[in-house]
Chain A
Amino acid sequence: MRRHKRWPLRPLASALARSRFCSSAAAAGAFPLKHVTRSNFEMTLNDLRSHVKAADFVAIDLEMTGVTSAPWRDSLEFDRYDVRYLKVKDSAEKFAVVQFGVCPFRWDSRTQSFVSHPHNFFVFPRQELTFDPPAHEFLCQTTSMDFLAKYQFDFNACIHEGISYLSRRQEEEASKRYDEESVDSVVETEDLKLVRLADLLFSERMKKRFNEWRSALLHGSSESPGISSGSTESAETVFYHMRPALSLQGFTSHQLRVIKLVLRKHFGDLVYIHTNDKSSCSKDFVVYTDSESDKENLMVSLLQKEAKDERKRVAERKIQSAIGFRQVIDLLSSEKKLIVGHNCFLDIAHVYSKFVGPLPSTAEKFVASIHDHFPYIVDTKILLNVNPMLHQRMKKSSTSLSSAFSLLCPQIELSSRSSDSILQQRVKIDVEVDNVRCSNWNAGGKHEAGYDAFMTGCIFAQACSHLGFDFKHHSESENLAQNEKLDKYINRLYLSWTRGDIIDLRTSNSNAENWRVSNSKYENIVLIWNFPQKLKAREIKECICKALGSTSVTSVYHLDNTAVFVLFKNSELVSNFLKLKQQLESDDGPVRILHPLSKILKGGNTGAADYDAYKEICSSHISKILFADQAETVGVKSRTRPNPKGETSLETERRENMVAVTDKASDLIDAFLANRVDVKVARTN
C-alpha cells in the first residue's frame, strides 16, 4: 500500500481538488493544469515520459523564493558579462525553486493543432536522506515571497508536499558516503554511558524483561513470551535465522542504543541485530544464541552477507527515491528535446545548480558544460526582440510574458473560437490533462509555473508560425531544433535583458558581448564606496573633475546609496585617481583638507578600487545589503592596478578581435541592438 500522508490543511486540499476537477468542467472552468506533489509524482512521471517523448518542444518556467540577495546584485549599468554571470550564479545558488512548470507540446496532425500538457510541480529541497546531511539552506527575498503570495501561491503545498530532489553531484556524494558509512558501522563499537535518570530506569526495566524472556525460553513457560510495555514500544517473539528472537518495535534510536548496551553488559547469549528489509524499513531484533560458536556463526554470516549487500541495496534505493524531481530534468535532458523558456537564463542556471551540480566559476565553463545537458534551448524573449518581423508585430509593447501572450495569442488567452478571420490564422492549441482534452477554459493563474510554461509554449508556437513554419506539412521526424529558420535564435539567451547582453551557448568560447560599453571602457572605471552619505553622483563628479581636470570624468553612476562607479575618460586617469587617493590618505597636512577630493574622502573610510575588485566582490558568497558593507567584509583593500599597460592592452586587442568576429556572425542582431541601444544611451545622458 502506498503511504499516503494527508496534510491537515484545507486550502491545499481545495487547491488539489481544483486541479482534479477542472478538466471535467471544461466548458468554462479554470485553466486545466496538472498539479503535481510528492503524492502523485511517481504516477505523473510515467505519463510525462510518454508526453515528452512525443513532444515537439517542451516549455518550462520556474518560480523561485527570490532573485537578488542584495539590491546591488541586480543587473546594473556597468556589469560586464562575466560580472553579470557571477550575479546570476549567486542568485541560483542562494534561492530555492518552489514551483517548476513543464509543458510538452505536440503537433497533432489529425486535429491540426498543438496538444499541450501543462504540469505544475511543487518542488521543495526537503532532506530525504538522513545521514550526515549537508546543511541545506536557502534564502527568501521578502518582496518575492510577497509577490508569490499576491498570486495565491500555495506555500503549504510546497513545503508539506513538495517533491524533493538531489543533483547529480549530490547523488554521487551520497552513494560515496553510504559506502563509507557501511564500513564504519561494522567496525565501530560505541560506548554510551548512562547518565540520565530516564536511561537508567529504562535499562533496568529492559534488563528485567530480557531476563524474563530468556528464562521463559529456556524453561518453557506456558505464557507466550513477549514484551509489551506501553502503547508504542513492543517486542514480540519471532524466529530469526532459525533462532528465537525478539522483534523490537517502536523504540527510539536512543533507547535501542541503551538496549544494545544492556545486552552487551549483562547477556552473553543475546545478540542485537539491526536489519533493513526489502521494504526499506529497518527492523531490530534481539536474537538468542545457543553457544559462543553459534553467536559467532550468526555474526559472521550477518556481517558478511546481509550487512554489506543489504545495506548497499537499501542505500541505493534510498538515494534513488531521493532523486525525486531530478528525474524530470533527466528526462528532458536525455530526450534532447527543444527547451523553450522566456527570458530563461536564470531558470537554466537554477536547473544547473539544483539538478546537475555546483555552477562553474565562469560563464565560459558554464557554456561549455550546459551543452551536454540541454543541447537545444530557445528563449522566446530573444525571438521576439531580435527578429525584426516579430518585433514589429509586438508593436513596441512590452515583451514580458503576459503581454506577449495576450498580443500574440489572444485566441488562447480568451479561449475564443470565434470565426474572426484573423484569429483563424493563429495556431490552434489544445490542453490535455489526465487524458481529457479541452479547448475552452478561463485564463489561468499568472505566475503559476505550469501556466507560465504553457504561455511560453504558446508564444513560441505562434512565433514559429509567423516565422513561416508550416506545421500542417510538418513531418513527425523533423526536428524543430534543427530547423534553419530558428538557427539564429537557438541557444542564445539574455544574460541581462535590461542591458541586452546575449550569451551564446553554441560555442564553447564565450562571446557574450556587451553591446553598450565596449570592453576597454571597463578599464576606465573606478569603484568608490563608503564616501560621506548624502553625497550625490553629481557632487562626486564635480570633486573629481576639480582634482583631475574638467573632462576627466565621463559619468558617475550609483550602485546604491553607499557606492558609485566613476567612468573616467581613460585608464591612466584611473591609476592617477587611485594614487592620488593613497597619497592624500597618508598625508596629514593641510593639503589633505584643502584638496578637492577631501570631500569624498571625508570620514576616512572611503574605499576605491578598479573594476577587477568589483568582480571579486561579486564573486563572494557573502551578501551584505549595502555595497559598502559588502566591500569591507570581502576585504577588498584600495588598490591600484599593478600593471596598467602591457598585458592589458594585449587583452583588449584580443577581445576586440572577438567582437569583430561575432559581429559578422550576427549582423542582424547587432544592427538591431545598436539601434535600440542608441535610444537608451541618449536617455541616460
Chain B
Amino acid sequence: MLPKMQRRFLSSVSVSAGGSKTLNNGRWSVKQVKKSNFKSTLDEIRTSIDSSDFVALSLQNTGSYAAAWHRISAIDTPQMSYLKAKYAAERYQILQFALCPFSLRGSKLTVHPYNFHLFPRDELKLGMPSYSFSCQASRLTAMAREGFDFNACIYEGISYLSREQESASKFLSGNPILAEPVAAPSSPSTVADTVFVGRIRSRVKNWRQSCLDSSSKTGDDDLVSSLRKLVLGSEQYGSRLCLTIDVCSERQVQLILEMLTEFADDVVPLLIASKSGGTQAVRAVFMSSKEDMDRFKRELQDLENEENRRLRGFREVVDLISSSQKPVVSQNYLSDFTSIHAKFLGPLPSNVDDFSSSLSSAFPNVVDLSQFMKEISPLSNISNLPAAMSSLNRFFAPVDVEVANQGCPIKLDESHQMHGQNAVMISQLFAKLSTIQKSDYQSSVQPSEDSYALASDQHASDENVQVWSKNSRRVSSENLVFIWGLAKKMTASTLKNVLQKSHNVFAQEFDVKLLDRSCAVVVFWQPSSSETFLSAVNNEDQLLGGSLRVMVAEGLRAAGYETYKRACRLGFWEADLADSLDKTLESSDTDLDSDTKPSEISWTSELAINFDEL
C-alpha cells in the first residue's frame, strides 16, 4: 500500500510542478484566433504543425444529441453509431476548434495551443458553408456558464468552405474566370451557328480595330473617347478595354471561344457566371502587348487565389493538418471526425466504411483517445477530461508541459484565455497514456501496428463490436427485443418484475434496460427466446391469457433489432424512440439493408446504458 501511495504522490507532484512554470491558476495561455488575426497567425500555425509530432484537437459544437436515444450506446453497431454521429454532425455547428500541435520528448511535452472561433458566414448567399444549423438550448446555456462570448463568435468568427463547396463555388463567386483554352472544334456547326459566329466575329473585329486605333491615338479628349465607347458598346475592365457578349447557352459560349482563338494574340476571353451556375456572358479583354497579356493572366490568377483563400477561410488550417500527415489525437473519434468531414471535406457518405476510407484519405493517422484510454484504464470515463486525468494518477507518468507559442499578443482578460484548454489536456492525457504504455510514442505514427488507431479498427465490420469492459457479455443482436407502449412509467427493475410474471419465456434469464422514457430493450440470453416473445406479442389471439395479453391490449408493442436498425437508416429521428419504431413499422419501405446478418454486441450490465446520464 505504501509504495503505491508514494508513487501516486510523486506523479501528482510532477504534474503540478511541470505545470506551474507555464500555467496560471491551472490554465495554459491559449492563442485565441479570430477573423481579425487569422491571416497573420496562419504562418505561425504552419510552423507549429510542422515542428510537432502530433496534433490534438477538440471541438465545441452547438449540440450533441437531440434525444436520449440518439446518443451512441452499447447496443449500437459501428454502422449505427456512425449514423447517429452523422445525424448530429450534419445538424450542429462547430463554434470553436481548439488545435494543439505537440511533441513529446521523454517526459517533456511541448504544446502550441490555438483556439479558433468559427462562424459560418453565407457570404455568397448560396447556403454555403451552411444554410442553417441547430442549437441545443441547454448546450448554449452551459457554454454561457463557462463564459463563452457569443458576440465574439458571431461577429468575429472565421468562416470557411468545405473542399466540395469550394470547387462548387468557383463559378458562383461572380468573379470572371479565365476561359480554358479550346482544345478542338466541337460538333459540326449548323446554319444558325454559322450565322451567330459570323455576327459575333464582325462585332469583335470592329471593337478590336477601335481598340487598336485608340491605343495608337493618344490625343483623344475624354468626350470623344467616351462617345466612342458608347457607340461601340465597349467597356473597360480595370484599365483595359473589353467587350461583353451575352450568351444564351453553353453551346454559344463554346462557339465564341472557338472564334476568339483567331484573335488570341491580343484578346483574352473571360467567362462571366450567372447566379444560377451557368455562363451569362463572355467578356473579351483587349491586351495592348504580349507582356500585358502575361501580366493580366497573372493578375487574374492572383485574384482567383486570393478569392479562394478568402472563401476557404478556416479550412486552410484543416488542410494544413491534413497535408502534414501528422497523427491527429481527438477525444471522441466518431463525433469529432464526422463533424470535421461534414464541415470541411464534404457531405458524409451513407455508410461507415465509405466514411472511414474517405476520412483516411485526408487524415491517415487518427488516434482515438477514448479507445486508447480504455486499454490502459478500462473504467475511466473519457468525457470528463480532468477526471480522466486524475484517474491516471495511480500510474507513475510524469509529464512536463511547456507552452511553445508564448509570444501570443492577445493578453485579454482571463475568461478569454480559458477557451481551448481541452486540446492541451488531450495532448497531456495522450502523453501520459503513451508514457504509461511504455511504448515508444514514435511507433504510433504507423497506424497499422497500433491497436488504438481507430481508423483501422472501424473496419472490423458490423459483426464484432469491441469489448470495452471486463464485465461485459457478448450478445447477438438477434436476442434483443425493443418494447414500448407501456401503460405507465416504470423503472427497469419494476419492468423486469412485471415481465417475469407475464410470459413463460421470461422464466429464462433475461435483462431489461430503458433506452429512453418511452422504450426499453430486453436482452434474452437464450437464443430462440426473442422469437418466441415477438411472435407472442404480435399474435395477440394466440395468447392464452395472463398479464402479457393485458399488456398487449393496453398498447404494448415489440420489435426486433432489425426495426431499430431500419429506424436509424431511414432517418426517423423522433424525440421518443417509441415513435421512431412505430413509424418504421408503418413505413412500407421494403428495401432491405445489404447486411441482414445478425451482429454481435457486447452487453455490459453497468456501462451499457447509464440511465442517470440520459
* CB-based nearest A residue for B489: A180
Tell me how far the C-beta of B275 lies from the nearest C-beta in chain A, rounded to whole angstroms: 10
What residues of B have a CB within 8 angstroms of the CB of A159 in the complex? 140-141, 143-144, 150
Contact B136–A136 (Cβ < 8 Å):
yes
What residues of A have a CB within 8 angstroms of the CB of B136 in the complex? 135-137
What residues of A have a CB within 8 angstroms of the CB of B415 in the complex? 8-9
Contact B154–A149 (Cβ < 8 Å):
yes
What residues of B have a CB within 8 angstroms of the CB of A341 in the complex? none
Q: Does B151 contact A (CB under 8 A)?
A: yes
What residues of A have a CB within 8 angstroms of the CB of B493 in the complex? 191
What residues of B have a CB within 8 angstroms of the CB of A136 in the complex? 136-138
A146 to B153, CA, bound (A): 11
What residues of B have a CB within 8 angstroms of the CB of A145 in the complex? 119, 154
0/1 per residue, A118-157, Cβ < 8 Å to B? 0000001111000011111111111101101100001110
Q: Does A596 contact B (CB under 8 A)?
A: no
| Interface-central residue, B119, B122, B144, B153, by most chain A CB under 10 Å | B144
Contact B120–A138 (Cβ < 8 Å):
no
| Interface-central residue, B93, B119, B149, by most chain A CB under 10 Å | B149
Q: Does A69 contact B (CB under 8 A)?
A: yes
Contact B137–A138 (Cβ < 8 Å):
yes
* CB-based nearest A residue for B131: A625
The total of Cβ contacts below 8 Å across the A-B interface reads 115
Contact B517–A132 (Cβ < 8 Å):
yes
A534 to B134, CA, bound (A): 31
Q: Does A410 contact B (CB under 8 A)?
A: no
| Interface-central residue, B131, B133, B134, B587, by most chain A CB under 10 Å | B131
* CB-based nearest A residue for B138: A127
A633 to B589, CA, bound (A): 12
B residues 560-575 near A (Cβ < 8 Å) are: 571, 575
Contact A137–B63 (Cβ < 8 Å):
yes
Q: Does B67 contact A (CB under 8 A)?
A: yes
What residues of A have a CB within 8 angstroms of the CB of B589 in the complex? 635
B residues 31-82 near A (Cβ < 8 Å) are: 62-63, 66-67
0/1 per residue, B504-524, Cβ < 8 Å to A? 000000000000010000000
A178 to B112, CA, bound (A): 50
What residues of A have a CB within 8 angstroms of the CB of B119 in the complex? 145
What residues of A have a CB within 8 angstroms of the CB of B134 in the complex? 137-140
A159 to B141, CA, bound (A): 7
B residues 122-139 near A (Cβ < 8 Å) are: 122, 125, 127, 129-138
What residues of B have a CB within 8 angstroms of the CB of A71 in the complex? 127, 131
A254 to B612, CA, bound (A): 9
Q: Main secondary structure on chain B at its contact with chain A?
A: loop
Choose one: B143, B144, B154, B575; the contact of A134 (CB below 8 Å): B575
* CB-based nearest B residue for A10: B413
Tell me how far the C-beta of B238 lies from the nearest C-beta in chain A, rounded to whole angstroms: 30
Choose one: A142, A180, A254; the contact of B132 (CB below 8 Å): A142
Contact B144–A160 (Cβ < 8 Å):
yes
Choose one: B132, B141, B379; the contact of A141 (CB below 8 Å): B132
Tell me how far the C-beta of B567 lies from the nearest C-beta in chain A, rounded to whole angstroms: 14
Q: Does A188 contact B (CB under 8 A)?
A: yes
Contact B137–A127 (Cβ < 8 Å):
yes
| Known pairs A124-B137, A134-B575, A136-B137; A143 contacts B122 (CB<8 A) | yes
| Known pairs A146-B122, A635-B589; A137 contacts B66 (CB<8 A) | yes
What residues of B have a CB within 8 angstroms of the CB of A633 in the complex? 571
Q: Does B598 contact A (CB under 8 A)?
A: no
Q: Tell me which of A193-201, A214-222, A309-317 binds B.
A: A193-201
Contact B391–A193 (Cβ < 8 Å):
no
What residues of A have a CB within 8 angstroms of the CB of B587 in the complex? 635
Contact B154–A155 (Cβ < 8 Å):
yes
Tell me how far the C-beta of B586 lies from the nearest C-beta in chain A, rounded to whole angstroms: 12
What residues of B have a CB within 8 angstroms of the CB of A149 in the complex? 154-155
Choose one: B133, B391, B413, B491; the contact of A140 (CB below 8 Å): B133
A132 to B138, CA, bound (A): 13
Q: Does A329 contact B (CB under 8 A)?
A: no
Q: Does A11 contact B (CB under 8 A)?
A: yes
0/1 per residue, B415-456, Cβ < 8 Å to A? 100000000000000000000000000000000000000000
What residues of B have a CB within 8 angstroms of the CB of A442 in the complex? none
A126 to B122, CA, bound (A): 27
A96 to B62, CA, bound (A): 14
What residues of B have a CB within 8 angstroms of the CB of A126 in the complex? 137, 141
| Known pairs A138-B135, A140-B135, A188-B491; A8 contacts B147 (CB<8 A) | yes
Sampled A-B contacts (15; CB under 8 Å)? A124-B141, A139-B135, A140-B133, A141-B132, A142-B129, A142-B133, A145-B154, A149-B154, A156-B150, A159-B141, A159-B143, A184-B489, A534-B277, A561-B276, A625-B127
Interface of A toward B, CB cutoff 8 Å: 7-9, 11, 65-66, 69-71, 96, 124-127, 132-143, 145-146, 148-149, 154-156, 158-160, 180, 184, 188, 191, 193, 195-198, 254, 534, 561, 622-623, 625, 633, 635
8 closest Cβ contacts across the A-B interface?
A155-B150, A136-B137, A141-B132, A142-B122, A160-B144, A135-B66, A125-B137, A159-B144
List 11 extra interface pairs beyond A140-B133, A197-B391, A635-B587, CB under 8 A. A8-B147, A9-B415, A124-B137, A127-B138, A137-B135, A138-B137, A143-B122, A155-B153, A159-B140, A184-B491, A195-B379
